């Protein structure tokens, strides 16, 4: 499982011109499920997202997590994070999980984050979405459950 995490002052996702989810301060997370991922990878990513200390404390150091700043997570499915463009110019998505299995784990990620005490909103799985955000910092972090980066 992979995630691109952006600290935001606001973010929203729209489908067909209608806003379906939005947050104020918190994290915009683009998440992808890889072949062979299981609840173990979901738990790793959920815990990492909820505990990631990328919000500033009173001393101006990135020392606080999303819960400590009363933030939320906007979680958006993005299978293209498993795109492999090392050969040629057309990415291969062979490493991404099939949609049916990926949706189950994506939904599990959202509910696991919620169970850890962090409010979560989601995009619409397999929909063409428009994502808007105000990246605060900018701060962008990459997380891979296989610890590849």
Active site residues: 78-80
Q: Which helix (H) or strand (E) holds 18?
A: strand 18-23
Taking a C-beta distance cutoff of 8 angstroms, is the pair 46, 24 a contact?
no
Please, is 101 exposed, middle or buried when counting C-beta atoms within 10 Å of its C-beta (0-12, 13-18, 19+)?
middle
The Cα 74–Cα 108 span in angstroms is: 14
What Å distances lie between residue 89 and 74, 78, 97, CA to CA?
A: 31, 19, 21
Cα–Cα distance, 28 to 35 (Å, whole number): 23
**Token pair of 125 as six digits:** 């799985």
Give the number of other CB atoms < 10 A from CB of residue 32: 23
């Amino acid at each position: 499982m992979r995630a691109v995490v952006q600290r935001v002052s606001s973010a929203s996702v729209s489908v067909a011109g209608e806003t379906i989810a939005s947050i104020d301060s918190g994290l915009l997370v683009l998440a992808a499920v890889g072949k062979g991922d299981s609840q173990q990878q979901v738990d790793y990513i959920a815990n990492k997202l909820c505990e990631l200390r990328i919000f500033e404390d009173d001393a101006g150091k990135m020392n606080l997590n999303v819960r400590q700043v009363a933030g939320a997570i906007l979680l958006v499915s993005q299978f293209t994070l498993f795109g492999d463009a090392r050969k040629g110019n057309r990415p291969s998505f062979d490493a991404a999980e099939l949609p049916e299995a990926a949706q189950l784990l994506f939904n599990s990620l959202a509910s696991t984050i919620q169970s850890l005490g962090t409010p979560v909103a989601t995009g619409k799985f397999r929909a063409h979405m428009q994502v808007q955000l105000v990246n605060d910092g900018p701060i962008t972090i990459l997380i891979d459950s296989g610890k590849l980066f």
